[in-house]
Amino acid sequence: MQIDVQLDCRPEDAAGRARELVALGADGLFTFEGAHDVFTPLVTAAGVTSADLMTNVAIALPRSPLHLAHIANDLQSLSRGRFRLGLGSQVRPHVEKRYGAQWSRPAARMRESVLAIKAIFAAWEGRAPLNFQGEFSTHTLMPPTFNPGPNPYGPPEICLGALGPLMTRAAAEVADGLLVMPFNSVRHFRERTVPAIEEGLERGGRSRADLAIYPQVIVGVGRTPEELAAAARGVRGLLGFYGSTPAYRPVLEVEGWADMQPELNVLSKRGEFAAMTDLIDDDMLATLAVHGTPEQCAAQIVARFGDHANRVCCYFPGYPVSDVHVAELISAVKAAS
C-alpha cells in the first residue's frame, strides 16, 4: 500500500519540505486549499522530487473548468506525468461568502466540471473538437493560440472528493478516482460509500477497474504517553470541527451519534472549540480516526482499507508529529500490506 502525506508549509518552504517527506518514504504529496494556494507548492515540488503530486482538494465550484484544465495540464508536464487533479465542492457558506461564487446542486456541478475538463483535455490531445455544452458552462472555442497541444505524459487523472451518495455516485460515474473523505468510519464506508460507488459505476457503464479509490485517514501517532495524548487531542479537535458541519452528519448518524452534530454546531458558532474537542470521546476517536503507535496505526489502516485500495492519504492534524514516527508509520503500512 502506498502512502500520500500532506505538503503542509508556506510556499517558500515547499521545496525543502517536499524533499524531507520523500526521504521519510512518502510515495506522494498532496496539498490542501487552506491559507495558501493549493497549486503553488506542487509547482515547486515537481522540480525537486520524484513523488506523485495531488491537490486534495482544489475547490472546483468557484473555478472555470478551463482554468483547472490549464494548471493541471502544466503540472502534469512539470511533474513528468506524476500529477493527479483532486477536486472538491466545499460547503455553501464558503463558496458564497469566502469565494464569492455561486453554489447550487453541487453534485451536478462537480460532475459537469469533470466532464468539461475531460472534453478540454480531449481537444488538446487532438481526439475531438472542443464542443462541450453543459448546463453550467460551455466550452466550444479553442483557437490554436490557446491550445497547448498533446501532453507528452497524457492527461492527468481527475479525482473527486466525496462523502454523500450523490457526490460519490457522480465520482464513480465520471471521475478517474474517488477521494474518500477523512471523516468516515468503516461502517459508513461499507454501508453507504460502497453501494453509491457501485451505483455510479453502473450509471456510467464502467467497471470497478475504471475507478481508483483513495481513502483518507486522520492519524494520531506517537509512542510515549505524552506523544499519544497530544496526538489524540489534535485528532479530536479536527473530528469536532468536521462533526459540527451538517454535511458530515450522515457519518455520525450511521454510528448512532447523530445528536452530536447539532451540539457541535452550536459550540462552533460560539467559538467554543475546546468544548468541541472535549465532546469527542475515546469511542469516536477509535471509530473515526486511527490512534496509537506507528505499528498500531498501520495495522488499523490496512484492516480498514486493504481490501478496497492500494493507496491511502494520511493526515496528522493539530499536533507536532515527529518525522521519525511518520517514517515508521509508512514503513509499517508497507510491511503490513
- The predicted model gives 57-62 an average pLDDT of 97
CA distance linking residue 108 with residue 169, whole number of Å = 10
What digits encode the pLDDT tens for the residues 30-51? 999 999 999 999 999 999 999 9
| Strand pairing category for 28-31 and 2-6 | parallel
C-alpha cell at 28: 506522494
191 Cα distance to chain centroid: 20
- The predicted model gives 54-65 an average pLDDT of 97
Q: What is the pLDDT of residue 151?
A: 98
- The predicted model gives 282-301 an average pLDDT of 98
Q: Using a pLDDT cut of 70, give the percent of the chain over it.
A: 100
Query: Could you tell me if 110 and 87 are in contact, meaning their C-beta atoms sit under 8 angstroms apart?
Result: yes
From the number of C-beta atoms within 10 Å of its C-beta (0-12, 13-18, 19+), residue 334 rates as middle
CA angle at 3 for the pair 81 and 299, rounded to the nearest 5°: 160
Residues in the chain: 337
Q: What is the pLDDT of residue 330?
A: 98
CA distance linking residue 157 with residue 119, whole number of Å = 13
CA distance linking residue 132 with residue 290, whole number of Å = 43
- The predicted model gives 161-173 an average pLDDT of 97
C-alpha cell at 49: 522530487
CA distance linking residue 207 with residue 223, whole number of Å = 42
Nearest alpha-carbon partner for 11 in 53, 46, 33, 44:
44
C-alpha cell at 64: 472555470
Identity of residue 9: C
C-alpha cell at 128: 475531438
**pLDDT bracket for residue 144 (50, 70, 90):** very high
φ, ψ of residue 87 to 5 degrees: the values are: -115, 150
Q: What is the pLDDT of residue 21?
A: 98
**pLDDT bracket for residue 54 (50, 70, 90):** very high
- The predicted model gives 247-269 an average pLDDT of 95
CA distance linking residue 327 with residue 180, whole number of Å = 23
Q: What is the pLDDT of residue 29?
A: 98
> What global pTM score does this model have?
0.95
What digits encode the pLDDT tens for the residues 145-155? 999 999 999 99
CA distance linking residue 197 with residue 193, whole number of Å = 6
